């Protein structure tokens, strides 16, 4: 035993030395390659390259990390971070990374649930688009160009500066980046009326593996299809999106109504499942469930019914009385406001803050360790299924856990499954997201919390979509399957690929084969090339 152990130790040290040496070498050559890359503007790349010895390296890396699970001392860190200002900086990073055998992780808003935009198990470079945040809103033509490093909060803000009756159907949390969010789908309270963010993209700029800057016309309809729901990271670096803006009324109505188990929450949720996807498409009511305490100090479950209605309160009350009286909504629960103020309300800014808070990329609640998972529901969950869910919230790990139901229907039913890579359309009543978060460091806390959510996920198997059990790319979950570090067969990748993309997975692989046959742009859940054997 002893001998074996010490032998292993020596081998490990020897390996460590040799990799360190060759990596340092690679890294110097790589940086030199960046500096030598020809550029035709006055922006020198040497102002935006951060090596590990640079005093700003850690603050730049940590700036947009949302999940502390991937920001520990043992999390792999990039050799170099590049924060491009112009196209040529991205081109140089793509070309030089290939030359020196480094992977690229492109980061826009840094919200990836599994940290794939800033962590890799192989030597890598982070291409952080923090400086590419220009937004140009053309209110007259109802379009906008948005650079991929801009957040959805910055986009909503820019639209509101130009018009009170234009909006965009994307996510709820302002610091989410448009680069990852639009390429993975992207939804919020306008989804039932207008679909996903990706459904409203009409042009894009992407830089491919050869360093070519392409737009919709030059990339062709296959690649343009793939990056609207198939994820950007498998295909290149998305530089900007052109989007179609949508109409919103000058007055919308919001409410947030809590109901505990003692207030018949189970029954109300049961009724919600029968109506939520059939309501007027201007009305979206989602449910956030979590642990709460009753007045006498007992634990209970609270379901918060959270809603945006595209119209005035009077009409909303009459709609609710007709379709969903069980909630007992009254006028006093509701507030009329502008669409942009509803964005602040849904993001939790309810103290009369100015819309400027949308420009703040620091989350008010701070960041934590978290693990989330997702499901789709095609048949209502019976009461007994809901009742079996509640005890999970009384376990220790569930202190700040949540289960969220988001209704589909409306526009989502009208778009065909193959229109974009995102296949979860007609037939889905609602989408579930589960989340658990914690503040305690260390593996033990992490394992305990992750086990809790995996047990919850196992419990729900009976009640959710099957064959395959569907998932949502933007709620990335590496539990559902991963690629090998190197060559992954199409068949192996199909295990997770069909869950995200169903029958669209094969077309995604064909597009990948055409645009990046050697599989340079790869990660734990990137689309496989059908020809490449990659790195063995």
Ligand X SMILES: *[C@@H]1O[C@H](CO)[C@@H](O)[C@H](O)[C@H]1NC(C)=O
Active-site residue set:
475
Angle between helices 339-346 and 152-162 (to 10 degrees): 160
- Residue 109 site contact among ligand X, ligand FAD, none (CB < 5 to 8 Å, cut-off depends on kind): ligand FAD
**Number of Cβ within a 10 Å radius of residue 274:** 12
The DSSP element (H or E) to which 459 belongs, if any, is helix 443-460
Q: What is the DSSP pairing of strand 334-337 with strand 299-309? A: unpaired
The DSSP element (H or E) to which 414 belongs, if any, is helix 411-414
**Number of Cβ within a 10 Å radius of residue 1:** 5
Find the binder of ligand FAD among 31, 159, 173, 401 (CB under 6 A). Answer: 173
Find the binder of ligand FAD among 78, 153, 180, 468 (CB under 6 A). Answer: 180
- Residue 263 site contact among ligand X, ligand FAD, none (CB < 5 to 8 Å, cut-off depends on kind): ligand X
Binding site for ligand X (CB under 6 A): 41-42, 47-50, 54-56, 138, 140-141, 263-264, 296, 298, 360, 362, 364
Find the binder of ligand FAD among 78, 169, 186, 468 (CB under 6 A). Answer: 186
124 phi, psi to nearest 5 deg: -150, 165
Q: Quick check: 188 binds ligand FAD (CB under 6 A)?
A: yes
Q: Is 293 exposed, middle or buried (0-12, 13-18, 19+ CB in 10 A)?
A: exposed
Q: Quick check: 172 binds ligand FAD (CB under 6 A)?
A: yes
* Tokens describing residue 159: 């639209």
Least Cα distance to 423 among 488, 495, 483, 508 occurs for 508
Q: Quick check: 66 binds ligand FAD (CB under 6 A)?
A: yes
Among residues 48 and 245, whose Cβ is nearest to ligand X?
48
Q: Are 378 and 470 in contact (CB under 8 A)?
A: no
Q: Quick check: 358 binds ligand FAD (CB under 6 A)?
A: no
Q: Quick check: 194 binds ligand FAD (CB under 6 A)?
A: no
Find the binder of ligand FAD among 284, 465, 474, 519 (CB under 6 A). Answer: 474
Of 169-177, 285-293, 387-395, 484-492, the segment contacting ligand FAD by CB under 6 A is 169-177
- Residue 48 site contact among ligand FAD, ligand X, none (CB < 5 to 8 Å, cut-off depends on kind): ligand X
- Residue 307 site contact among ligand FAD, ligand X, none (CB < 5 to 8 Å, cut-off depends on kind): none
Among residues 152 and 301, whose Cβ is nearest to ligand FAD?
152
Find the binder of ligand FAD among 79, 148, 320, 493 (CB under 6 A). Answer: 148
Task: State the minimum distance, in angstroms, from the CB of residue 516 to ligand FAD.
Answer: 12
CA distance 343 to 242: 21
- Residue 42 site contact among ligand X, ligand FAD, none (CB < 5 to 8 Å, cut-off depends on kind): ligand X
3-state DSSP percent of the chain in helix, strand and coil, to 5? 40, 20, 40
CA distance 310 to 50: 46
Among residues 253 and 474, whose Cβ is nearest to ligand FAD?
474
Q: Quick check: 91 binds ligand FAD (CB under 6 A)?
A: no
Q: How many DSSP H helices and E strands does the chain contain?
A: 15, 18
Task: Give 135-142 contacts, CB < 8 A, sequence gap 24+.
Answer: 137/161, 137/162, 137/163, 137/245, 139/163, 139/166, 139/245, 142/166, 142/244, 142/245, 142/246
Among residues 241 and 457, whose Cβ is nearest to ligand FAD?
241
Q: What is the dihedral of CA 387, 393, 396, 398, to 10 degrees?
A: 150
Q: Quick check: 424 binds ligand FAD (CB under 6 A)?
A: no
Of 71-79, 161-169, 227-235, 290-298, the segment contacting ligand FAD by CB under 6 A is 227-235
- Residue 184 site contact among ligand FAD, ligand X, none (CB < 5 to 8 Å, cut-off depends on kind): ligand FAD
Q: Could you write out the three-class secondary structure of 249-315?
A: CCCEEEEEEEEEHHHCHHHHHHHHHHHCCCCCCCEEEEEEEEEEECCCCCEEEEEEEEEEECCCHHH
CA distance 407 to 387: 20
Task: State the minimum distance, in angstroms, from the CB of residue 231 to ligand X.
Answer: 29
Binding mask 106-145 for ligand FAD (x = CB under 6 A): xxxxxxxx--xx-----------x----------------
CA angle 216, 220, 222 (to 5 degrees): 115
Among residues 201 and 261, whose Cβ is nearest to ligand FAD?
201
Of 105-113, 211-219, 386-394, 410-418, the segment contacting ligand FAD by CB under 6 A is 105-113
- Residue 449 site contact among ligand FAD, ligand X, none (CB < 5 to 8 Å, cut-off depends on kind): none
Helices (H), 118-264: 152-162, 178-184, 191-194, 216-226
- Residue 360 site contact among ligand FAD, ligand X, none (CB < 5 to 8 Å, cut-off depends on kind): ligand X
Task: State the minimum distance, in angstroms, from the CB of residue 228 to ligand FAD.
Answer: 12
CA distance 480 to 241: 29
Q: Is 391 helix (H, G, I), strand (E, B) or coil?
A: helix
- Residue 176 site contact among ligand FAD, ligand X, none (CB < 5 to 8 Å, cut-off depends on kind): ligand FAD
Q: Quick check: 155 binds ligand FAD (CB under 6 A)?
A: no
Q: Label residue 409 left, alpha or beta by phi (over 0 means left) and psi (-120 to 50 means alpha).
A: left
Q: Quick check: 233 binds ligand FAD (CB under 6 A)?
A: yes
Q: Quick check: 237 binds ligand FAD (CB under 6 A)?
A: yes
- Residue 173 site contact among ligand FAD, ligand X, none (CB < 5 to 8 Å, cut-off depends on kind): ligand FAD
Among residues 50 and 156, whose Cβ is nearest to ligand X?
50
Q: What is the dihedral of CA 494, 495, 500, 505, to 10 degrees?
A: 10
Strands in 237-244's sheet, in edge-to-edge order, are 135-138, 143-147, 237-244, 201-207, 213-214
Of 90-98, 103-111, 458-466, 500-508, the segment contacting ligand FAD by CB under 6 A is 103-111
**Residues at the interface with ligand FAD (CB under 6 A):** 66, 105-113, 116-117, 129, 148, 171-173, 176-177, 179-181, 183-188, 231-233, 237-238, 474
């Amino acid at each position: 035993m002893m001998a074996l152990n010490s032998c292993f130790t020596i081998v490990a040290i020897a390996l460590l030395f040799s990799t360190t040496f060759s990596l340092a070498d690679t890294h110097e050559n790589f940086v030199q390659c960046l500096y030598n890359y020809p550029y035709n503007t006055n922006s020198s790349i040497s102002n935006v390259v951060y090596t590990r010895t640079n005093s700003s390296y850690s603050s730049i890396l940590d700036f947009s990390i949302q999940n502390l699970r991937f920001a520990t001392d043992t999390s792999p860190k990039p050799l170099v971070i590049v924060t491009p200002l112009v196209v040529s900086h991205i081109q140089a990073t793509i070309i030089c990374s290939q030359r020196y055998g480094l992977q690229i992780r492109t980061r826009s808003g840094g919200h990836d649930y599994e940290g794939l935009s800033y962590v890799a198990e192989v030597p890598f470079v982070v291409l952080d688009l923090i400086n590419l945040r220009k937004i140009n809103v053309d209110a007259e033509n109802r379009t906008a160009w948005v650079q991929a490093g801009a957040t959805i909060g910055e986009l909503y803000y820019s639209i509101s500066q130009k018009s009170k009756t234009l909006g965009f159907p994307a996510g709820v949390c302002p610091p989410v980046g448009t680069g990852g969010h639009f390429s993975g789908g992207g939804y919020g309270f306008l989804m039932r009326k207008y679909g996903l963010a990706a459904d409203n993209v009409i042009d894009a700029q992407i830089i491919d593996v050869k360093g070519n800057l392409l737009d919709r016309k030059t990339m062709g309809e296959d690649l343009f299809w793939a990056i609207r729901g198939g994820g950007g990271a498998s295909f290149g670096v998305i530089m900007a999106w052109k989007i179609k803006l949508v109409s919103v009324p000058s007055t919308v109505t919001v409410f947030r109504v809590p109901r505990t188990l003692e207030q018949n929450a189970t029954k109300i949720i049961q009724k919600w499942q029968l109506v939520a996807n059939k309501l007027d498409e201007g009305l979206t009511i989602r449910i956030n469930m979590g642990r709460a305490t009753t007045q006498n100090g007992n634990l209970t479950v609270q379901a918060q019914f959270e809603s945006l209605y595209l119209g005035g309160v009077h009409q909303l009350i009459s709609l609710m009385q007709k379709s969903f009286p069980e909630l007992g909504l009254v006028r006093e629960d509701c507030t009329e406001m502008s669409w942009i103020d509803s964005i602040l309300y849904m993001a939790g800014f309810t103290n009369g803050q100015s819309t400027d808070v949308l420009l703040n990329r620091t989350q008010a609640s701070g960041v934590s360790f978290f693990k989330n998972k997702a499901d789709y529901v095609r048949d209502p969950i019976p009461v007994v299924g809901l009742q079996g869910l509640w005890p999970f919230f009384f376990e220790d790990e569930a202190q700040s856990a949540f289960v969220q139901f988001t209704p589909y229907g409306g526009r989502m039913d009208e778009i065909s499954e193959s229109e974009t890579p995102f296949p979860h359309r007609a037939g889905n009543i609602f989408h579930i997201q589960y989340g658990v978060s914690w503040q305690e460091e260390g593996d033990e806390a992490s394992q305990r919390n992750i086990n809790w959510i995996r047990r919850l996920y196992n419990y729900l198997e009976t009640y959710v979509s099957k064959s395959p059990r569907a998932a949502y790319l933007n709620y990335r979950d590496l539990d559902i399957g991963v690629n090998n570090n190197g060559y992954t067969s199409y068949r192996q990748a199909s295990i997770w690929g069909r869950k995200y993309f169903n029958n669209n997975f094969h077309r995604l692989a064909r597009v990948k084969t055409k645009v990046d046959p050697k599989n340079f742009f790869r990660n734990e859940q990137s689309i496989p090339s059908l020809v490449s054997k990659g790195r063995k």
